């Protein structure tokens, strides 16, 4: 491998000749050989978006000449387009402020900008600190990037996947509105409802989660940029944060603003804790939906068997013809991971000292993994399971009329205790509710038929 010599404030470093990064990135590769993961690409792109806006702001404030500014903007655009993903190799297990990753982006942007200018490169070149990181500190740019990456992933990735799944289930709820089935509470038979009503609960869960996520997105629009090292804005021009937020908003088509209190923005990540809580709530509801689906589809002959789900792949390496609820299982595993990520993020956000939280890489990696996994698994579950859910009407009807809990309709006519005796007799003697009711002498067969009508038991009361 061929190398070139780069230098930083600590001296010279050998850097692979075929890469754009500089000395500080190379030192980080040597000093943080921890784990196999890399800093999320979505965060890298958010940093590039911020560097782009900062370059334009610095130009407007007269701190950066047009030639360098335009070169930095072009370099950032190339990074955002994913052209240079291989230039960002660092592990998230690094300094808690994210300095190594910020400098990785600064060095790559500077290297690209120098390449873009070529012979037109001005005296003094383009320096990763003096020009790309101008008017910034890792301490304000990294938390700003955390908010930008999180907000954009929620808007562009998670919410569309959530809406698609909710739409599929809403259509199923409407389509199955007339299918009366037995309800279940405590894993025991309960009074009837329609399959449409049962699925409508899943839809309402997802709608509530969407509303919650939309609420927690608002604090993510607040950016720490302009606070520099400790929140005072040292070495940044007055109004820099407002200008960067405005330029970023214009470039991304979303609303961002400069945090009113930069000291808070550097040291606290309560906005991401709240947002992670909304993701955890979504994961909890998805766990519930997936469990309901796989219970109702259990069987096909020795389980509940009221639903069928798509047979996507063989379910067993030894049992021929076995089909498993694999999509539901993927959902439940993702939910567990999101619960764990939320716990890690919450602990991390409670840490750090004085003017800076120093668990930032862990926080953003946990959040973006949760958001990304939830979006992916909702798309997968929607495409490979939810769209193919179908009722098994014969099984649903058999279970409905075999249930003892239809006896609840008799309460207003013969009282709770008498109705309970009928149900107990039917169960103990393995006869129908109707037979047990007539044998009790409390009502005739015609009266039983008139009172116990499943279709009337599923009617909802007007609000």
223 touches 266 (CB < 8 A) = no
Question: 316, 350, 402, 455: which is the annotated catalytic residue?
Answer: 316
* pLDDT above 80 (res 244): yes
Work out the angle at residue 199's Cα, subtended by the Cα atoms of residues 193 and 200, and round it to the nearest 5 degrees: 90
Kindly report, as residue ranges, where domains of CATH 1.10.275.10 are found in the chain: 3-134
pLDDT in tens, 315-330: 899 999 999 999 999 9
Instruction: Specify the DSSP element, H or E, that contains 223.
Output: strand 222-223
pLDDT at 352: 87
- Nearest of 209, 134, 128, 123 to residue 165 by alpha carbon: 209
Looking at domain 3-134, which CATH architecture does it have? Orthogonal Bundle (1.10)
As given in the structure block, the two tokens for residue 429 are 């003697």
CA–CA dist 76, 131 (Å, integer)? 13
CA–CA dist 310, 249 (Å, integer)? 43
User: What residues contact residue 303 under an 8 Å CB cut-off, 6+ apart?
Assistant: 295, 297
- Nearest of 32, 48, 25 to residue 92 by alpha carbon: 32
Is the peptide bond preceding residue 300 cis, with omega within 30 degrees of 0? yes
Cα atoms found within 13 Å of the Cα of residue 235, Cβ hemisphere only: 12
- Nearest of 242, 277, 50, 78 to residue 146 by alpha carbon: 50
CA–CA dist 290, 240 (Å, integer)? 48
Is the peptide bond preceding residue 328 cis, with omega within 30 degrees of 0? no
pLDDT in tens, 371-417: 999 999 999 999 999 999 999 999 999 999 999 999 999 999 999 99
CA–CA dist 104, 25 (Å, integer)? 5
As given in the structure block, the two tokens for residue 361 are 């890489």
As given in the structure block, the two tokens for residue 18 are 């075929």
Work out the angle at residue 141's Cα, subtended by the Cα atoms of residues 138 and 142, and round it to the nearest 5 degrees: 70
Q: What is the DSSP letter of 154?
A: I
Q: Give the model's confidence band at 463: pLDDT under 50 very low, under 70 low, under 90 confident, else very high.
A: low
pLDDT at 269: 98
CA–CA dist 63, 360 (Å, integer)? 29
Q: Which long-range contacts (CB under 8 A, 24 or more apart) does 243-247 make?
A: 243/57, 243/60, 243/61, 244/50, 244/53, 244/54, 244/57, 245/53, 247/53, 247/56, 247/57
pLDDT in tens, 98-122: 999 999 999 999 999 999 999 999 9
Strands 222-223 and 257-258: parallel
* pLDDT above 90 (res 462): no
Kindly report, as residue ranges, where domains of CATH 1.10.40.30 are found in the chain: 403-457
What is the percent of the chain where pLDDT is above 90? Answer: 98
Q: Average per-residue pLDDT in the chain?
A: 97
pLDDT in tens, 142-179: 999 999 999 999 999 999 999 999 999 999 999 999 99
Mean pLDDT, to the nearest integer, of 176-202? 98
Domain boundaries 403-457, corresponding CATH code: 1.10.40.30
* pLDDT above 90 (res 305): yes
169 touches 202 (CB < 8 A) = yes
Considering only the C-alpha atoms of the chain, give the largest distance between any 2 of them, rounded to a whole number of Å: 105
Instruction: Specify the DSSP element, H or E, that contains 336.
Output: helix 326-349
What three-state secondary structure class fits 255?
coil
Kindly report, as residue ranges, where domains of CATH 1.20.200.10 are found in the chain: 140-221+260-392
CA–CA dist 114, 125 (Å, integer)? 7
CATH class of 140-221+260-392: mainly alpha
* pLDDT above 90 (res 136): yes
Kindly give the residue spans of alpha helices, DSSP state H, lying in 61-158.
66-80, 99-117, 138-153
Q: Give the model's confidence band at 1: pLDDT under 50 very low, under 70 low, under 90 confident, else very high.
A: confident
The model carries a pTM of 0.96
pLDDT at 461: 67
Does the annotation count 276 as an active-site position?
no
Does the annotation count 316 as an active-site position?
yes
CA–CA dist 193, 19 (Å, integer)? 63
Instruction: Specify the DSSP element, H or E, that contains 14.
Output: strand 11-16
369 touches 281 (CB < 8 A) = no
Mean pLDDT, to the nearest integer, of 264-287? 98
């Amino acid at each position: 491998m061929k190398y070139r010599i780069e230098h930083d404030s600590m001296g010279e470093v050998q850097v692979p000749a075929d890469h754009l990064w500089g000395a500080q990135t190379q030192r980080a590769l040597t000093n943080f050989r921890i784990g196999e993961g890399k800093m999320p690409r979505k965060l890298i792109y958010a940093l590039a978006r911020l560097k782009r806006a900062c370059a334009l702001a610095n130009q407007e404030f007269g701190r950066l000449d047009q030639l360098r500014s335009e070169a930095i903007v072009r370099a950032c655009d190339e990074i955002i387009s994913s052209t240079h993903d291989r230039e960002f190799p660092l592990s998230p297990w690094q300094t808690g402020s994210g300095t190594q990753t910020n400098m990785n982006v600064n060095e790559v942007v500077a290297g690209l900008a120098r390449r873009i200018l070529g012979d037109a490169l001005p005296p003094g070149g383009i320096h990763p600190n003096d020009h790309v990181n101008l008017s910034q500190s890792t301490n304000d740019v990294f938390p700003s990037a955390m908010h930008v990456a999180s907000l954009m992933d929620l808007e562009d990735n998670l919410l569309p996947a959530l809406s698609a799944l909710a739409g599929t289930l809403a259509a199923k709820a409407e389509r199955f509105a007339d299918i009366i089935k037995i309800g279940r509470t405590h894993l025991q038979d309960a009074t009837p409802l329609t399959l449409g009503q049962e699925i409508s609960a899943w839809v309402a869960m997802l709608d509530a989660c969407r509303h919650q996520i939309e609420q927690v997105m608002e604090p993510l629009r607040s950016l720490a940029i302009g606070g520099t090292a400790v929140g005072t804005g040292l070495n940044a021009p007055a109004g820099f944060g407002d200008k960067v937020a405005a330029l970023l908003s214009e470039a991304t088509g979303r609303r961002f603003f400069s945090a009113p209190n930069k000291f808070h923005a550097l040291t606290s990540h309560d906005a991401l804790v709240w947002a992670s809580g909304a993701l955890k709530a979504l994961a909890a509801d998805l766990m519930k939906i997936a469990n309901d689906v796989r219970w109702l589809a259990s069987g096909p002959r020795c389980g509940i068997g009221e639903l069928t789900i798509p047979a996507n792949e063989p379910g067993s390496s030894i049992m021929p013809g076995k089909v498993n609820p694999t999509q539901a299982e993927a959902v439940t595993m993702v939910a567990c991971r999101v619960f764990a990520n939320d716990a890690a993020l919450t602990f991390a956000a409670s840490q750090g000292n004085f003017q800076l939280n120093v668990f930032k890489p862990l926080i953003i990696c946990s959040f973006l993994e949760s958001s990304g996994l939830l979006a992916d698994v909702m798309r997968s579950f929607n495409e490979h399971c939810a769209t193919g859910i179908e009722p098994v009407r014969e099984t649903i009807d058999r279970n409905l009329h075999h249930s003892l809990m239809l006896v609840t309709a008799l309460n207003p006519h013969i009282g709770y205790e008498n109705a309970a005796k009928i149900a107990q007799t039917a169960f103990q003697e393995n006869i129908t509710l109707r037979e047990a009711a007539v044998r009790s002498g409390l009502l005739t067969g015609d009266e039983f038929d008139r009172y116990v009508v499943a279709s009337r038991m599923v009617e909802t009361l007007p609000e």
